[in-house]
Amino acid sequence: MKLWLFGIYGIVGATAIAGERAIKRGLTDTTGLVSELPVFKGLDKYSPLDFEDFGGHDIRALDKNLYEELFSHWEDNQHFDYRILKQLKEDLEDIRAKKGTALNCGEGVLQELKPIEALENEGLTLEEIVSKIEKDILEFADDETVAVNVASTEPVIPFDEEIHGSLDGFERAIKENRKDIISASMIYAYVSLKNRIPFANFTPSVSSSLPALKELAERNNVPHAGNDGKTGETLVKTTLAPMFAYRNLKVLGWMGYNILGDLDGKVLSHEQNKRSKVESKDKVIGKILGYYPYTITEINYFPSLQDNKTAFDFIHYQGFLGAKMKFYFIWDAIDAIVASPLVLDIARFLNFAKKKGIKGVVKELSFFFKSPMDTDIYNTHKQFSDLKEWYEVLK
C-alpha cells in the first residue's frame, strides 16, 4: 500500500515514514505498533507493514527533501538513534512534498511556520486549489492508498449549516470561491474521499468530521476516521478515569497541565489554534464518568523541551464516608515517538476496512483518537476490545 500525508514534513509525519523504512531495513523492531500485536495476526495479508511509497503536501521547506527535513527535526530533538537515521538517507531523500494550502489555518501557522508556500498565494481560486491538490494525489495514488492529515492544528471554524451541512452546499461553496469558510483540512479530506482514498484526521482540526464530508464518504463507499491522535496525557486519562468509575469513586476535579516545545508547541501557543486542542482534550473525562467534574486543561509552549512533552495531572476524588483524596501523575514522552507508529497503524486498518467494504466513519478505530467521531465510547479498555472484536469478525 501507499501513504499520502498532509503535513509530511512535520516531525510526526517524517518520523512515521522513517520508522517504516527502518523496520523494513531491519534496523529496529515493531515495538510501539498496535497493528503488530499478536491479536491482529493476519493483518499483513491485507495491509502489509511494507509501504510501497510515501508522498504528501506541506506548506514550507518545499526546496528540501524528506531526509533534510527529518534531519532538521532530529538536530532539534535527537528523538531516536542517529545510527538509524543516517542509514535511511537514500530511502528518504527521494520523497518531496507538494505545495499544499494554508487556507484558514490561523495565525499560529502563518506566523510560526513562515515563510509559507501555499497555493492560494499564487492567486488560485478555491476550485483551482482543490483541482491542484487532487491532481497531485491522483498522480501518486493507486487502489491501495490511504491519506492521513498530520498537518498543524487549525483554529475552530464556525459551523455554517448551508455550506458544511451537506455535500451540495460544500461543493457549491467551492465553486463560489468561499475561501472564508473552507479550511485546508476540509479540502484534504474532500479530495481524498472524493477519490475513494480512505482518510484519517490525526489532528483536532475539523476535517472529515463535517456532515458534508461524512455524506461524501458514505456516498463513495470509503472509510474514514478521526479526530486527533490519542497518544499521551489523554491516553493515560482515558485509561485511568474508568478506574474511578469502576470503584464508584467520585471525581471532584481533574487538572491537566501540558507543556511542550517544537513546531507543534509554537503553533499551539496561539490562542485560536490552541482552542481546538484544549476542547479535544477536555471533554473526555465527563464522557467516561457520565458526569462533568470541575476540569482545568492547559497547554503551554515551553521552548527548551522541544518534542519532549510533559503533562502534570492532579485528580481530586471522594471515597467512602465522604473522605476526599488525591491522585497525581506525570507523563513525560517524546511526542513524535508515541504518535508516529499510530499513523502507520491507522493507515493499515483503514486499508483493511476498505478491502472489507466498510464505508463512512469507522467507529472501531476510536482507540486511536482523542475525539472519536460518532461515538460516546472514550474508555480506552472498551475501545481496545471493540477494535479487537471488529478485526476478529471481519478478517
CA distance 10 to 151: 7
Examine residue 341 and tell whether it contacts ligand NAD (CB under 6 A).
no
Q: Say which residues have a Cβ less than 8 Å from residue 304's Cβ, sequence separation at least 6.
A: 261
Q: What is the DSSP string of 316-367?
A: EEE-GGG-EEEEEEEEEEEHHHHHHHHHHHHHHHHHHHHHTT--EE-GGGGG
CA distance 383 to 368: 9
Examine residue 151 and tell whether it contacts ligand NAD (CB under 6 A).
yes
Residue pointed to by grid coordinates 485546508: 184
Q: In this complex, which beta carbon is closest to ligand NAD, that of residue 200 or of residue 251?
A: 200
Positive/negative CA dihedral, 161, 164, 167, 168: positive
Footprint of ligand NAD on 215-274 (CB under 6 A): 228-229, 231-232, 263-264, 267
Distances (CA, A) of 114 to 51, 111, 205: 32, 6, 20
Examine residue 5 and tell whether it contacts ligand NAD (CB under 6 A).
no
Q: In this complex, which beta carbon is closest to ligand NAD, that of residue 59 or of residue 191?
A: 59
Q: In this complex, which beta carbon is closest to ligand NAD, that of residue 102 or of residue 288?
A: 102
Find the binder of ligand NAD among 4, 6, 40, 352 (CB under 6 A): 6
Query: Quick one: which segment of 27-35, 43-51, 102-110, 295-303 binds ligand NAD (CB under 6 A)?
Result: 102-110
Q: What is the DSSP string of 190-237?
A: HHHHHTT--EEE-SSS-GGGSHHHHHHHHHTT-EEEESSB--SHHHHH
CA distance 324 to 185: 44
Q: In this complex, which beta carbon is closest to ligand NAD, that of residue 43 or of residue 150?
A: 150
Examine residue 197 and tell whether it contacts ligand NAD (CB under 6 A).
no
Question: In 3D, which of 312, 291, 297 has the Cα closest to residue 248?
Answer: 291
CB of 368 to ligand NAD, least distance (A): 10
Q: In this complex, which beta carbon is closest to ligand NAD, that of residue 4 or of residue 390?
A: 4
Q: In this complex, which beta carbon is closest to ligand NAD, that of residue 225 or of residue 358?
A: 225
297 burial via Cβ count (<10 Å: 0-12, 13-18, 19+): buried
x/- map, 269-308, ligand NAD, by CB under 6 A: ----------------------------------------
Site size with ligand NAD, rule: CB under 6 A: 35
Chain centroid offset of residue 274 CA: 15
Find the binder of ligand NAD among 16, 289, 339, 350 (CB under 6 A): 339
Question: In 3D, which of 122, 164, 138 has the Cα closest to residue 172?
Answer: 164
Examine residue 336 and tell whether it contacts ligand NAD (CB under 6 A).
yes
CB of 360 to ligand NAD, least distance (A): 22
Examine residue 105 and tell whether it contacts ligand NAD (CB under 6 A).
yes
CB of 181 to ligand NAD, least distance (A): 16
x/- map, 40-59, ligand NAD, by CB under 6 A: -----------------xxx
Beta bridge partners of 318: 250, 324
Q: Do 297 and 233 form a contact (C-beta atoms < 8 A)?
A: no
Where on the chain is the footprint of ligand NAD (CB under 6 A)?
A: 6-7, 9-13, 57-60, 100-102, 105, 109, 113, 150-153, 184, 202-203, 228-229, 231-232, 263-264, 267, 335-336, 338-339
